[in-house]
Amino acid sequence: MDPKRQKYLTVFKAECEEHLRALGDHLLALERTPEDAAPLKHAMRIAHTLKGSAQLLGLAEISRDAHDIEDRLRRLEQGEDPATAEPIDQVLRALDVIRRRVAELLPQGPAAAAPAPTVTGSQAPASAAVPPPTLAPAAPARTAPTIRVPVDKVDGLLSAAGELALGRARLERFAIEMRGLMSRLKGRHRDPIYQELRRLYEGLSQSVGELDLAVRDVQDLTLSMRLLPCSTLFGDYPRAVRDLARELRKEARVELLGGETECDKDLLDAVREPLVHLLRNCVDHGIEPPDVRRGAGKSPIGTITVRASQRGASLGIEISDDGAGIDIAAVKTAAVRLGHLTAEQAAQLSDHEAAYLITASGLTTRPQATDVSGRGIGMDVVRATITALKGDLVIESEPGRGTRYLLSLPISLATMKVLLVEVDRRLYAIPLGAIELSLRVDPDEQPTLAESGTLLVRGQHVRLVWLRALLGPQPEPIEPGARLSVVVVRHGGQTLGLIADHLLRDDEVVIKPLPMAPDVSPFVSGATLLGDGQLAMILAVPRLFATAFERPHEATLLPVAPAAPLTRKTVLVVDDSFTTRLLEQNILEGSGYEVDVAVSAEGALELLQKKSYDLLVTDVQMPGMSGFELIELLRRDPRHGTMPCIVVSSMGTEAERELGRRAGAQAYIGKGDFEQETLLQAVEQLIGR
């Protein structure tokens, strides 16, 4: 094919896919609100544009199909055909014909987009991924110029940025070594060699700082190039759900929320099939026939909601329906029949635990298979895919009210926010999206630790597993008075406490896949090179859960004497940063302190009028009154004048620390040097445990 024509066809194909998507959206909007003329007008304009573009390139068949669509839309406009399901079906089928012809224009290469989801029982034509859906008429908007770049080039750029980061780390180590050399020359400040060394050190330090900012910018921009709005995935769902519902003689509509939420392109491609299976489940198993819904006092049209949102470092996708809910009794019966569990075990399951059984391989509540369901495969695919993506699936159902499927996935498959821990002198990374909290535990205060290998956290018994037992040598016996470093993680609605040797710090890392080799631990899903050049293995949380519940508690705990009931010390944390408040609160609560938080000094004063605290932990720079002013005010208050105060601030110079001491702070921790151990040591020194 002539390169120029191939170029024009490539542009036309992308434009046509956008037009077809928008046409479908407007037709569905017309079907929902036939009294609104706007969707029909927009559809006619798009069909005319599509016809003209096809004519320009000599694509006679597509031009003829678009002209036929124009005629059908004109009959709807003039009232010759009603805006009901059958005439709109005819136009939608005509769109499918064009979509098929467009797919054949160019050969499908390795970078071809994934096919559009099809949730009907019969085979339907596939289409390439398309831009975001337009569910309501919108005014034309100017968009920034764009270029098409293969994903492998973006990944190569990201890898190069990672190498730059490692080079920056090496330069930083050289700067630290130079500073150490200068410290050994303290008495030779006037020596020309010392002066030259100092000049080189200052220049190197400045260059390292500038390089650090540049590398971070390159990494952030490169990662953002991999992100696409979730609307590119959701756009076909309204049409697909409508067609399947009609095939099953039901009525259903889809509400799309949060389509602007961005996530990794590879993640969108990978999660496409699981979401289609969930939609099929909602239509086939959830939404009732119209007469049944009327009898239950519901609208005859069922509603399926697809919602995307960003939750910290995770992408949350929720698919819910307002149907009949899951038949828990039928699910338990099917699970027992297939041998997934015994009748006694089924009887002991809560409804929440039993609902998750629908993801078991081969499990179905249908008496016989149909084109749509009944083979027990769909939900098994959902569970396996979400697990492979290092995500989590929670299922909630209420009889007569409907079912919710809550997916939690990493926003990017290229990077991940993690908590670094040390186990047997090796570094491991635990995905932050799976972590509920981290804490340090005194076994003397946890009687269930020795008795059953569980930990009482916020009123819930959490089973413990020693990472040493899974990743290396057996753990050593716990000595009296020793404290355990525990990370509580969640997966599939369950919690598990991972015991590490040391908790280090949070970090954002670039994920590197590991080769399939016999010596690679099954509990490791990837690896990453840290900024200082050290290698850290990324733990596979789902695999840890699967194994931990098969193994007994593997630590030998020395007997401890029963302890007297403890009175929890109270701490007030004041910081205008949500992240800092949450971090400090989790650290302190995990170590047994009772914590209240305030977002400002004024808010802290309101709390102090109602309650006394054993300790104040405050930031300095906050809207309104500063942390120093708060401490000075408290020192003049007879009720709180002797309360110890700790300052945790990004202002860490010696002069600023002196201001803190003058204000009355007993300890000063710079946020740049902040570590969990540093805070806990300061707290224990001031108020004990």
**Three-state secondary structure string covering 597-638:** EECCHHHHHHHHHHCCCCEEEECCCCCCCCHHHHHHHHHCCC
Decide: 45 and 137 in contact? Cβ < 8 Å: no
pLDDT of residue 264: 81
Please return the burial class of 658, using the count of CB atoms within 10 Å of its CB with bins 0-12, 13-18 and 19+. Answer: exposed
- With a CB cutoff of 8 Å and minimum separation 6, the contacts of 557 are 443, 449, 450, 477, 478
Q: Give the pairing type, strands 302-311 and 314-321.
A: antiparallel
Which of 387, 353, 495 lies closest to 437, judged by CA? 495
pLDDT of residue 369: 61
Q: Does the structure show a pLDDT above 60 at 374? A: no
Q: Which of 5-19, 38-52, 413-427, 551-565 has the lowest mean pLDDT?
A: 551-565
On the question of pLDDT at 140 being above 50, the answer is no
Span 471-488, pLDDT tens digits = 766 656 555 556 788 899
Res 567: pLDDT = 66
Listed ranges 353-367, 546-560, 596-610, 641-655; the one with the highest mean pLDDT: 596-610
Tokens found for residue 664: 């009355």
Closest by CA position to 431, among listed 420, 441, 442, 443: 420
Residue 403 in this model has a pLDDT that exceeds 90: yes
Model confidence at 520: pLDDT above 80: no
Residue 152 has pLDDT above 80, yes or no: no
Indicate the helix (H) or strand (E) that contains 164: helix 151-183
The chain-wide mean pLDDT, for the chain, equals 78
Q: What is the pLDDT of residue 299?
A: 93
The DSSP code for 104 is: T
Share of the chain above pLDDT 90, in %: 9
User: Which pLDDT value is given to residue 104?
Assistant: 82
What are 508's strand-pairing partners?
A: 417
What is the structure's pLDDT at 122? Answer: 36
- Quick one: pLDDT at residue 2? 67
Token pair of 128 as six digits: 């390439």
Closest listed residue to residue 313, CA positions, set 416, 406, 228: 416
pLDDT at residue 302, rounded to an integer: 93
With bands split at pLDDT 50, 70 and 90, how would you rate the model's confidence at 509? confident
Question: In terms of pLDDT, which residue wins out, 517 or 468?
Answer: 468
pTM of the complete model: 0.54
Nearest residue to 542 (alpha-carbon basis) of 389, 379, 357:
389
Work out the end-to-end distance of the chain between its first and last CA atoms, rounded to an integer number of angstroms.
Answer: 77
DSSP state of 357: G
Structural contact between residues 660 and 652, judged by C-beta atoms closer than 8 angstroms: no
Name 337's Cβ contacts closer than 8 Å, sequence gap at least 6: none
Q: Are strands 262-264 and 227-229 parallel, antiparallel or unpaired?
A: antiparallel
Please list the alpha-helical segments (H only) found in 226-235: 231-234
pLDDT at 581: 77
For residue 297, is pLDDT > 90?
A: yes
Provide the token pair at 146: 């764009």
E strands of 362-510, at which residues? 392-398, 402-410, 415-423, 426-431, 435-441, 454-457, 460-466, 484-491, 494-500, 502-510
Can you give the pLDDT at residue 176?
80
Cα gap 229→265, rounded to integer Å: 9
Matching residue, tokens 């559009």: 116
